[in-house]
Amino acid sequence: MRQTLIAWIAALALLAGCVSTSVGVSSGPGGSVSAGVAATSGMGITFSSYGDFLYSGPYAAFRSNREGLREHLDGNYAAAARLFQATLRDYPGNPDAVYYLGLSLISDGSRDTGFATLGQYRDPLRMRITQEVRWWANYCEKKPDMTPQDIRRTMNKARVEGYQREREEAWENRWDR
């Protein structure tokens, strides 16, 4: 599985137009697998086997979001929320921080506040993802029987599909010029 994940991430990095990349894989608690791609062009992305991913950006924001995501994956939702809030103090509107803060709040029992946070999600560079996250957050909010794990799984799937559609559209638009 690791070789497949590494190959998939390397291909994604090449399609994204990275100048040079490095790929790493690590194991986490409960058998989770994380993989990341770093690029000298400034574009990077980190995925986990749960469908979570973080964009690169200012290093301090990325580092704080990565620590918050680790806390979230470990079930320390209050600690994760504090880390994402700290990122938002320094980098207002950071899409990863808004997204995972919303999910952490939902998982910590603050469902209404979490959905309100997800409703504010905005990625100015990726409108398809913004639309998907907002639409699915609204959908999940109307389903009180959904568990936080079901919500996270649904939201991650929507976010990944939005990302994939954006990449496909960008690829198709290359040939229309």
Of 36, 43, 87, 80, residue with least CA distance to 61: 87
Domain 58-175 bears CATH identifier 1.25.40 = yes
| Dist. CA 1–CA 137, nearest whole Å | 31
**18 burial type by CB count under 10 A (0-12 exposed, 13-18 middle, 19+ buried):** buried
pLDDT at residue 29, rounded to an integer: 43
What backbone phi and psi angles, to 5 degrees, belong to 51? 90, 5
User: What pLDDT score was predicted for residue 56?
Assistant: 67
Against a cut of 0.85, is the pTM above it?
A: no
Q: Where are the domains of the chain?
A: 1-49, 58-175
Return per-residue pLDDT of the chain as tens, 177 residues: 555 555 555 555 544 444 333 334 344 444 444 444 333 334 444 444 446 778 767 888 999 999 999 999 999 999 999 999 999 999 999 999 999 999 999 999 999 999 999 999 998 888 999 999 999 999 999 999 999 999 999 999 999 888 888 888 888 877 765
* 43 within 8 A of 53, measured Cβ to Cβ: no
